[in-house]
Structure 1
Amino acid sequence: MQYIAFLTPLVVSVLTISGASVAGPVFQSPLVVPATKSALALRGTLNAAGTAGQRLVVAGQRGHILYSDDGATWLQAKVPVSSDLTALYFASASEGWAVGHEGVILHTADGGTTWTKQLDGKQAAELLVKAYGKPANASDPAAQRLRQDAETFAAQGADKPFLDVWFEDTRRGFAVGAFNLILRTEDGGNTWTPWMDRVNNPKGLHMYGIRPAGGSVFIAGEQGLVLKYDRAQQRFVKVDLPYQGTLFGVTGTDRTVVVYGLRGNALRSADGGASWMKIETGVTTGLSSGLVRRDGAIVLASQAGQVLVSTDDGASFRRVPVATAEPTFALADAGNGVLALAGLGGVRVEAPK
């Protein structure tokens, strides 16, 4: 008899052939397996892009992080995990953070050359249990929900991803993710504090993006979720939006906020989120990434590789041609009109006209 039995999650696969058993490889968590150096990493799926000063940095599947100082030659960073990475952000030319699956938060102090793990999903769940496991008012429905969420996170292990990260300086930042997961640090990520009780997100919707815009900080997520940071209350409050579809991100200038998501939908606010107008993007595929270029133009990219540019604070966008329209998941500004477009086929550096 021939069969293969796979025993999960952390056990040995056994292959039995003609009565003989041969032990297969022991499964190891991506949290303890460093990212493998590979010549193919640059052509793999890349979900995140950013700049460390003049350096371009991209990140994606299997913990792969790569960096380039000229946009042509790329080197692979040393990363202590092989978890899929979803987002990265640099607060300075040297200090940056990357987040992803298994609840990982990574930090670099050398512009993306080497990375260390600051947190993982198991540690994050422990923080939630400590913060919400014994509520002061156990009869409060909100407190009960937070306790249940914390217990669920702990029981299910390190399986909740962070989906975005943003720092206002090298000390203070947020990491946001699935099921209302949000952590705050005020010491550069050495310690993290759960902020799930400070977010007006009672349905526990996923939070896909966090960025400053319109004079504040906004979070965008599923089912039209938009939250605005109220510094006086030290919490994120819900913003009413005339759209209930999923939003993948937020960007904007000091004057305007632009949120974008499914089926080419994007909305703009010029009054700090008090009112919103639909933007005619001219595309019907999901808008997956956005940024403000150094010259003040707002750029959006779609999952089909379309690139849109606005030079009037997001009031209107025009589609600009690219050399290769491949699925794009993240953008980075290389200066002088040059963009790094990261996505399904790796990273492309070009200057859309």
Structure 2
Amino acid sequence: MKKIFLLLTASCLFSCGTAKVDQETTLNPDNSAISVKGAMVEDAEMKRNNATLNNMAAKKDTKFSNAEGIRILMEFLASDNLKGRDSGSEGIEKAADFAENIFKENGIKPYFESYKDTLSNFDKTAYNIVGILEGTDADLSSEYILIGAHYDHIGEISPENGDAIANGANDNATGTSTVLELARYFGNLRSNKRSIIFALFSAEEKGLLGSEHLAKKLKDQGLNLYTMLNFEMTGVPMVGKDHLVYLTGYELSNLAEVSNTYADEKVVGFLPKAKEFNLFKRSDNYPFHTAFNVPSQTFSTFDFTNFEHYHKVGDENELMDFQHMANVVNKMIPVVEGIANAPTQEIKYK
């Protein structure tokens, strides 16, 4: 997450498994296995195919994502091999290839000529990863929903106990995994009447540069953007809340109300600290708000009490709750599906 000035103590800043994976890891399109350099790492829970997805749609069953699938994604994205995914580094290049492969294997096409879109506002070579799933409705497909998260982190920093790699598990391999899982779901089921852009941003930690670059580029192209849904730090459950995730800029729109209607429960709520520290302006939703003036907001579960390792080497996978992360994905599926298929644009700024 973009660096926040020291308004809080070190524990109050927003912005488990053992298998090792590298950049040649890919998800198979039928979800049956994970391929690692030609070897197959299989799990019964991962053996889902298109027929299963179609059954889910028929039964309105959203138990799509699971802890094991999330674990596999996270163990790659937040591994030491990626050296903290600093923008412009060899490590984030591996993460970019990994995400590109998942998009490709699940029917998400490149939005531009390739998935990698080079940033125009950063002094090193860095890429956003941008894919598109066209909508199925002749009229609504001209309206776009953008689902995003930043996949960069801060690289290597001052060592603590011999460890200098700021792996960025919570910040923001978690949001990246959420976007990849949503892309996998919709890419296989193709249940979206509106078109969906899936975007992973680089250089968020440098000042929201990746999202700023993409927002300007899409605006210049005249994209008909309906809403931007961003995911940031979703790896640990909130403490003592009556909702699963909170929404930055909660009071600015009716997105929480619309989301809860489609979820058929209170999934999205208000976090006073998010308003107090103006988190609406501190993540990748904000450049889209600025460029398009359409509802552009971030979902998160970092509540200022449940995670003490922001921008530290301690932001590791063993602190992440993979079942919670899968639950976030599963609860967001009907939300995104509802927004994508509603006959009118329901989400409005107040």
Larger radius of gyration: 1
Instruction: Give the strand-richer structure, 1 or 2.
Output: 1
Settle same-fold status: TM greater than 0.5. Answer: no
Higher relative contact order (CA 8 A, sep 6+): 2
Q: TM-score, normalised by structure 2?
A: 0.27
